[in-house]
């Protein structure tokens, strides 16, 4: 258990193989990436300080598209 801040650090260290700047900006996600915790916007849950619980579902959705 930890918080979303630690989850993002773990994702950067263990899952992002190249160009982490496309997902992260500083210690948070880049603007344009929607973060849902149990289907609710993370802004309602405390963002980086939200304490993860067993069975939480965290979803990252890019709202950016290009042509």
Q: Where are the domains of the chain?
A: 4-62
pTM comes to 0.85
Q: What is the CATH number of domain 4-62?
A: 3.10.20.30
Token readout for 48 is 């980086």
Which residues in 29-58 are b (16+ Cβ under 10 Å) and which e? beeebebebeeeebeebebeebeeeeeeeb
* pLDDT (0 to 100) of residue 64: 79
**pLDDT by position in tens, the chain (length 67):** 599 999 999 999 999 999 999 899 999 999 999 999 999 999 999 999 999 999 999 999 988 776 4
**Is residue 50 helix, strand or coil?**
coil
């Amino acid at each position: 258990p930890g918080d979303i801040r630690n989850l993002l650090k773990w994702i950067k260290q263990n899952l992002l193989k190249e160009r982490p700047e496309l997902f992260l900006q500083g210690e948070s996600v880049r603007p344009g990436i929607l973060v849902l915790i149990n289907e609710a916007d993370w802004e309602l849950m405390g963002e980086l300080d939200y304490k993860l619980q067993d069975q939480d579902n965290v979803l990252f959705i890019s709202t950016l598209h290009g042509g």
